[in-house]
Amino acid sequence: MPQAVSPSDPAMPWLDAVKWSADGLVPAIAQDAASGRVLMLAWMDRDALARTAATGEAHYWSRSRGRQWRKGESSGHVQKVRELRLDCDGDAVLLVVEQVGGISCHTGRERCFYRQLEADRWITVEPVIKDPRVIYSHD
Amino acid sequence: MPQAVSPSDPAMPWLDAVKWSADGLVPAIAQDAASGRVLMLAWMDRDALARTAATGEAHYWSRSRGRQWRKGESSGHVQKVRELRLDCDGDAVLLVVEQVGGISCHTGRERCFYRQLEADRWITVEPVIKDPRVIYSHD
């Protein structure tokens, strides 16, 4: 259970510095602290960002499922946040993370950006480390 | 003048693999090829992504100005694209770039993610390399 946070807490004016979209979200980039690789891009609502800061573990908002999720809650592939950064316009967040298990993508790959453009085609250039059926078998 | 591209060209089905937002945009992360630092997050429309691939220089869509822009068109801080990647869901793009001039941010800093959360405050942790008034003085 994440630490309880109150997004409207006046003691958290740093959340007001974020320019939330009309949907109340901000894009969040996760970068691996060790390798420097960009792992994924996901979205956060205000509460997810507050919980991320409060717990030190990445929380996101799933647009497809319409709910907040703690990264790794099913897979165990938690992201421990080492740095939390905001961009110049306040409309994008960067998380430098320790990626538990070395896998951030639901396909079982290290990261979500595993396709590269080569001669007008997206080519898969990174291997599956662990079968997703094994990762999510306890669900 | 960028190479002419036709976004509806049937020879570019790779553009159809991108899941464009309702506004016809996709978030694009630029990462420095040399340092591995995440420089910025911007947005691309279909034509900007096509031009980026065709010219090897990053083109974005400015939501505030409502127009496409070639990164560096005013500042000279062009981004030469070394890798173009797509994520698992097809709704985010990663550019690994050579950042000409070593400055990607309009504030004159190396990158836009220069504020870091420390004890509930965003602290500026990276210096201005060049005064923006000098960078944009020829406008």
ipTM of model: 0.92
- The pTM of this model reads 0.92
Predicted confidence at residue A12, as pLDDT, reads: 85
Q: Which of B14, B27, B121 sits opposite A117 (nearest CB)?
A: B14
**Residue B108 near residue B128, CB atoms below 8 Å:** yes
Q: In angstroms, what separates the C-alpha of B12 from chain A's closest C-alpha?
A: 7
SS3 A26: strand
**What is the number of CB-based contacts under 8 A between chain A and chain B?**
97
Confirm or reject contact between B22 and chain A (CB < 8 A): no
Q: In angstroms, what separates the C-alpha of A80 from chain B's closest C-alpha?
A: 15
Q: Which of A11, A31, A89 sits opposite B120 (nearest CB)?
A: A11
Predicted confidence (pLDDT) per residue in A103-125, tens digit? 999 999 999 999 999 999 999 99
Positive/negative CA dihedral, A97, A103, A106, A107: positive
Q: What percent of chain A has pLDDT over 70?
A: 91
Whether the per-residue pLDDT at B5 is higher than 90: the answer is no
As given in the structure block, the two tokens for residue A97 are 């993370």
Q: Which chain B residues contact residue A92 at CB under 8 A?
A: 27, 40-41, 112-113
Whether the per-residue pLDDT at A82 is higher than 50: the answer is yes
Which runs of E-coded beta strand occur in A1-139?
25-32, 38-45, 59-62, 67-70, 79-86, 93-99, 115-118, 121-124
Q: What percent of chain B has pLDDT over 90?
A: 88
> Which one of B75, B85, B106 would you mutate to disrupt binding with A, by most A Cβ within 10 Å of its Cβ?
B85
Predicted confidence (pLDDT) per residue in B112-121, tens digit? 999 999 999 9
The model's confidence at residue A8, banded by pLDDT at 50, 70 and 90, is low
- Average pLDDT estimate for B7-17: 76
Amino acid, res. B4 = A
CA distance B67 to B50: 15
